[in-house]
Amino acid sequence: MNTVADRLIVPLDVPSLPAAIAWVERLPQVSFWKVGLELFVSTGPAILTELKQRQKHIFLDLKFHDIPNTVAGACRAVATYGVDLVTLHAAAGPAALKAAQTAISEAATATGQAPPQLLAITVLTSLTARSLALDLKIPIELPEYALHLARLAQQQGIAGAVCSPQEVAQLREICGPHFRLVCPGVRPDWAAKGDQKRTLTPAMAVKAGADYLVIGRPITQASDPAAAFQRICDELATVV
């Protein structure tokens, strides 16, 4: 992370390749882009090729969650794309986490590429403590559950975790300084929260221990996206 801007990951939450390229060209100052399920299912690896040709960093957020053999196969395929970060659900369990890490490392080595860093999804930022307890019937407190999942992933060699900014301080303290922590659901004071339930401002999230922030709608839905991106960078510069 060479600059404040390198810590901001902007989601390409659009349904087509032309729409995604339009955003990349509209915001050339963004160095790190997130490709999620909608765009990847629509375009396949073509969007990854376009981003790499423009020397952008890529967060491939596909949230793998399956049996160990299937997750391992997906990770072997992902390793050939040359992306930087890839997600899978910690709730897939220790066997799947270990199989994923082994597969992605071996496949990258076989193709002469640096392996992507795997990030374990802890608890989605759209969930609340109430929904975790009542809807999903998970009988422990949300912060404790997020920490448990992060530690489970770390024990299997996973490089980091995705967590709410409200859990990041605890994960940083327990998991140590080298465990990558990526926070979605970050919202500046001047932006609407939308469907994010457990959020902090960018500066607060970084001060709490986040390595990267995923910030979408406050930038992409702003009347001037470039100005919104710069405003967030300026806010972060006061704490980084």
Q: Is the distance from CB of 39 to CB of 15 less than 8 angstroms?
A: yes
- Mean pLDDT across 83-99: 98
Model pLDDT for residues 23-77, shown as the tens digit of each residue:
999 999 999 999 999 999 999 999 999 999 999 999 999 999 999 999 999 999 9
Band of pLDDT at residue 239, cut at 50, 70 and 90: confident
- Mean pLDDT across 74-101: 97
**Hey, what domains does the chain have and what are their CATH numbers?**
4-237 (3.20.20.70)
* Per-residue pLDDT, 3: 86
Map residue 121 onto helix, strand or coil.
strand
Please report where in the chains the tokens 């465990």 appear, as a residue. 179
Model pLDDT for residues 102-150, shown as the tens digit of each residue:
999 999 999 898 999 999 999 998 888 999 999 999 999 999 999 999 9
The distance of Cα 199 from the centroid of its chain, to the nearest Å, equals 15
User: What pTM was estimated for this model as a whole?
Assistant: 0.94
Q: Is the distance from CB of 193 to CB of 227 less than 8 angstroms?
A: no
Instruction: Classify residue 82 as exposed, middle or buried by CB count within 10 Å of its CB (0-12, 13-18, 19+).
Output: middle
Q: Which helix (H) or strand (E) holds 201?
A: none
Check pLDDT > 60 for residue 197.
no
Of 52, 63, 197, 207, which is the active-site residue?
Answer: 63
Residue 63 among the catalytic residues: yes
